[in-house]
């Protein structure tokens, strides 16, 4: 149990275009999902917390208008990178924590490698 | 502020040798601690976690970790490393509803 699916796994886009990344919880409902960004050879940095039915909570320094998050259902959160630039190229990972038991760990998607050319 | 320190960026061990990856945390209350493993280009897989109780925690793939409050540490160990263990390992502490990660340790296994 506790599977998080992330799509696409890789995407290449032209500078100035927008890219949407999907994160789905397959076997549980996730009222909260998390979006991380990972630069090469670096750790994961939390970008924002996605809340079902309400606005996302962004970490300090993350541009809300650049990284649009929508959590329209209990099983789907999307991250849209708007007007992408080469510096947005990175590895993006989503995460969620199943509701069964407070002591269950967080489950991560397999990540999306975004390359902006 | 909550933080996690993994002092070793890279570690190389021989196959069959023992392994210890260090993790120190800074957190005011009783921490919820995690170890994750990441293969190149992949997401993170949970190895083990500590919330309370026995300070020696067993995880998957033969890993274990020991919580030492006096040292603010949660080191990951494995008695005999396999070549398939080569990956990057992240220690994390839960702060509220979020995870704060260490910088990661890249494990290389030589045959």
Q: Which chain A residues are closer than 8 Å to B47 by Cβ?
A: none
Work out the burial of residue B106: count CB atoms within 10 Å of its CB; fewer than 13 is exposed, 13-18 middle, 19 or more buried: middle
Q: What is the pLDDT of residues B24-82, one digit of tens each?
A: 999 777 789 999 999 988 889 999 999 888 999 999 999 999 999 999 999 999 999 99
pLDDT for A102: 57
Non-local CB neighbours of B63 within 8 Å, separated by 6+ positions: B35, B47, B48, B76, B77, B78
Q: Which chain B residues are closer than 8 Å to A44 by Cβ?
A: 44, 90, 101
Query: Mean pLDDT for chain A?
Result: 91
Size of interface A-B (CB pairs under 8 A): 47
Confidence of residue A117 (pLDDT cuts 50, 70, 90): very high
Distances (CA, A) of A69 to A47, A111, B81: 10, 16, 40
**Could B99 and A93 be called an inter-chain contact, meaning their C-beta atoms sit closer than 8 Å?**
no
Closest CA of chain B from A82, distance in Å: 23
| Res A53 pLDDT > 70 | yes
pLDDT for A19: 98
Q: What is the pLDDT of residues A55-103, one digit of tens each?
A: 999 999 999 999 999 998 999 999 999 999 999 999 999 999 887 765 6
Average pLDDT over residues A109-114: 94
Confidence of residue B7 (pLDDT cuts 50, 70, 90): very high
Residue in A42, A103, A111 nearest the CB of B43: A111
């Amino acid at each position: 149990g506790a599977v998080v699916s992330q799509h696409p796994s890789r995407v290449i886009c032209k500078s100035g275009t927008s890219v949407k990344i999907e994160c789905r919880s397959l076997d549980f409902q996730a009222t909260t999902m998390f979006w991380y960004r990972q630069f090469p050879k670096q750790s994961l940095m939390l970008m924002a917390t996605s809340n079902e039915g309400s606005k996302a909570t962004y970490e300090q320094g993350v541009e809300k208008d650049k990284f649009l998050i929508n959590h329209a259902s209990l099983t789907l959160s999307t991250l849209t990178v708007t007007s992408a630039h080469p510096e947005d190229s990175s590895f993006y990972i989503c995460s969620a924590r199943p509701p069964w038991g407070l002591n269950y760990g967080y489950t991560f998607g397999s990540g999306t490698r975004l390359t902006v050319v | 502020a909550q933080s996690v320190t993994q002092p070793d960026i890279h570690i190389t061990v021989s196959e069959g040798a023992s392994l210890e990856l260090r993790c120190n945390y800074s957190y005011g209350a009783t921490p919820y601690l995690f170890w994750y493993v990441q293969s190149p280009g992949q997401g993170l897989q949970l190895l083990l976690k500590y919330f309370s109780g026995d300070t020696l925690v067993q995880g998957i793939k033969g890993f274990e970790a020991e919580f030492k409050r006096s040292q603010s540490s949660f080191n990951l160990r494995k008695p005999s490393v396999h070549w398939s263990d080569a990956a990057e390992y992240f220690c994390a502490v839960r702060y509220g509803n979020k995870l704060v990660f260490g910088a990661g340790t890249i494990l290389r296994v030589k045959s």
